[in-house]
Structure 1
Amino acid sequence: MTSPLSPAKSLLFVPGDRSDRIPKALDSTAHAVIVDLEDAVTPQCKDDARHQVAAFLQAHPEARVLLRVNASESPWFEDDLALAALPAIAGIVVPKASPTSLLQVAQNCQTPIWPLIETAEGIQRAPEISRFPGVVRILLGTIDLALDLDLDVTRPGGHNMLDIARFQVVSASIAAGIAPPVDGVFPDLDDADSLLAATSHAKACGFGGMMCIHPKQTSIVNGAFTPDDSQVDWAQRVLKAAQGQPGAFKFEGQMIDSPVLVRAARLLESWNVRPGRSPKRSSLPCPITAQKGENAK
């Protein structure tokens, strides 16, 4: 199963009981919008939030949003999941994801599944979750995961433990052949420098995007996950130089072989794709696609 939102770099949360914010989120620089019926909504407002979201999405079937439902063991789960039938729902975000909860979702709808891994069980079963039918991309809930593992993220040890979790989620996603996962939110809305550092760290760890809690975070996240001009120029030049080469060759003092060409091709793919907007185009053929097919890794 695929989703047009799979390549999203920035995923912006909107509280379900504030449906008036959904149009603003859709008009922002966010690549995808997650309408949240879970953590952002208090128990007494759950039903009202669901009704607000249903009314908005029924009036705007052209919208494409992800919906975070409440946990499968909660009393709101089944009613939340009923919204999956609306055309505007492009995917279901499943909190505290486990194979059991994913099965419950899959049995009730055919919508693409975006598991949110945020427990020790989720990390341990990441390979199984990544390969579950209908799963298109993994989200890592770092705040809840740190709470579940009792980590002190203000100290290096806590950060190192989260990086181990990041490795497990990235490796599980790549092995399953789905899109690189999405890292957790950065909670400080007024620290742009630290947000950029956190986003750059996530990218270096193999993530393909980050969740956001405010529209002003999305442009920073998009920029950090998008190759800069010098990287794009290098990738275009090295792929052009590879045309007609029978194997490894020397380019600007560097030995170029298949892994380097794969990296260049991935870099251009990341630059070309802008979910929800017109993609940039490159007329440059990719030798990796020609040699190994579009799923070359």
Structure 2
Amino acid sequence: MTDLPWGPALLFCPADRPDRFAKALERADAVILDLEDAVDPAARPAAREAVLDTPLDPARVIVRINPAGTLDHVADVEAVRASPYRTVMLAKAERVTDFAALDGLRVIALCETAAGVLAAAELAATGGVIALMWGAEDLVASLGGTASRHPDGRYRDVAVHARSAVLIAAGAFGKAAIDTVHVDIGDHDGLAAEAEDASAVGFAATACIHPGQVEVIRAAYRPSDEEVAFARDLLAAAGETAGVFRFRDRMVDGPVLRHAEAVLRRVGA
């Protein structure tokens, strides 16, 4: 897992609601000001003005911009360059040429179409890209489907495949991976399970759409006291031992030590 400069809970906020900007940033580790799906196309010019006119800490702001090849994309990039913000999330990223206008910006490539998932490795290998994120709903829409989840809330196989493909592509090129939103706002148990799994397999963060989801995500990414103590004891034992060794009835080798290091990295130790 490659780290991001923020904590694990990234909160989307519609860019046409400047009254919510500061509150969203106060609640989350970083805020994603959304100029794309959360804003009616007719309201996007006013939303860009709101992004420019409502000051926030630039270090904790991401601006989601519209897909390359659209007029909104051009206007979004102009607005970002006129702002203090230097991290963008490119919606529906599908090819390296989509980054043509983003030189000098930190880019999160949002792989949320069939073409984007297939191109994930190529996108991750591109300079300026700091992370990949995947999206379930747009992906299924791009396939002509109607639902990313089974009735019981589990992701359908195609969504599971896309999630894994984007995570592996990001990791292969040393980039962070961000897990997608849990759209059932009241389903905290389901969100917790997904965020715990995301943390376990190497996602650096999970995006969310409601302030009430932030603490659920943070708790899921936070190692327990027992996990932290075990990781510290294991690494201390490893410092006195060469090669593979046995620790509390477990075989320990290099990958297991890296797991322990990741646990401590989660708590800043």
Listed one character per residue, the Cα deviations across residues 174-215 of structure 1 (whole Å, up to 9, x for unaligned) are 110112x11111111222112212323333444222110011
Number of the residue aligned with 2:9: 10
Number of the residue aligned with 2:131: 137
Listed one character per residue, the Cα deviations across residues 87-111 of structure 1 (whole Å, up to 9, x for unaligned) are 64141100000224533233xx411
Indicate whether 1:203 and 2:199 are aligned.
yes
Number of the residue aligned with 1:20: 19
Give the structure-2-normalised TM-score: 0.91
CA change 1:16–1:191 in 2 (3 A) is same
Number of the residue aligned with 1:276: none
CA change 1:4–1:158 in 2 (3 A) is closer
Q: Distance in 1 between matches of 2:251 and 2:221?
A: 26
Contact 2:91 2:110 in 1 (8 A): yes
Number of the residue aligned with 1:184: 180
Q: Distance in 2 between matches of 1:4 and 1:231?
A: 19
Code of the residue aligned with 1:144 in structure 2: it is: D
Number of the residue aligned with 1:234: 230
- What are the ranges of 5 or more consecutive residues in structure 2 without an aligned counterpart? none
- What are the ranges of 5 or more consecutive residues in structure 1 without an aligned counterpart? 273-281, 283-297
Number of the residue aligned with 2:140: 146
Q: Distance in 2 between matches of 1:63 and 1:225?
A: 21
Instruction: State the percentage of identical aligned residues.
Output: 34
Q: Distance in 2 between matches of 1:154 and 1:135?
A: 29
Code of the residue aligned with 2:107 in structure 1: it is: I
State the secondary structure of the residue aligned to 2:267: helix
* Coordinate RMSD, CA, aligned: 2.2
Match of 1:194 among 190, 196, 212: 190
Q: Distance in 1 between matches of 2:57 and 2:171?
A: 32
Indicate whether 1:75 and 2:104 are aligned.
no
Listed one character per residue, the Cα deviations across residues 198-248 of structure 1 (whole Å, up to 9, x for unaligned) are 323333444222110011101101111221111111101101111132222
Code of the residue aligned with 1:129 in structure 2: it is: L
Code of the residue aligned with 2:61 in structure 1: it is: V
Q: Distance in 1 between matches of 2:239 and 2:158?
A: 43
Match of 2:248 among 246, 252, 270: 252
Number of the residue aligned with 1:99: 95
CA change 1:17–1:101 in 2 (3 A) is farther
Q: Distance in 2 between matches of 1:160 and 1:192?
A: 22
Code of the residue aligned with 1:20 in structure 2: it is: D
Code of the residue aligned with 1:169 in structure 2: it is: V
Which one is further off, 182-191 or 130-139? 182-191
Contact 2:96 2:122 in 1 (8 A): no
Contact 1:9 1:31 in 2 (8 A): yes
Code of the residue aligned with 1:258 in structure 2: it is: G
Q: Distance in 2 between matches of 1:61 and 1:170?
A: 28
Q: Distance in 2 between matches of 1:5 and 1:18?
A: 26
Q: Distance in 2 between matches of 1:130 and 1:110?
A: 16
Number of the residue aligned with 2:41: 43
Q: Distance in 2 between matches of 1:70 and 1:23?
A: 23
CA change 1:207–1:159 in 2 (3 A) is farther
Listed one character per residue, the Cα deviations across residues 144-185 of structure 1 (whole Å, up to 9, x for unaligned) are 112212263343896221111112111111110112x11111
Indicate whether 1:167 and 2:164 are aligned.
yes
Which one is further off, 149-158 or 261-270? 149-158
Q: Tell me the matched-pair count.
A: 265
Q: Distance in 1 between matches of 2:215 and 2:155?
A: 28
Q: Distance in 1 between matches of 2:238 and 2:196?
A: 29
State the secondary structure of the residue aligned to 1:269: helix
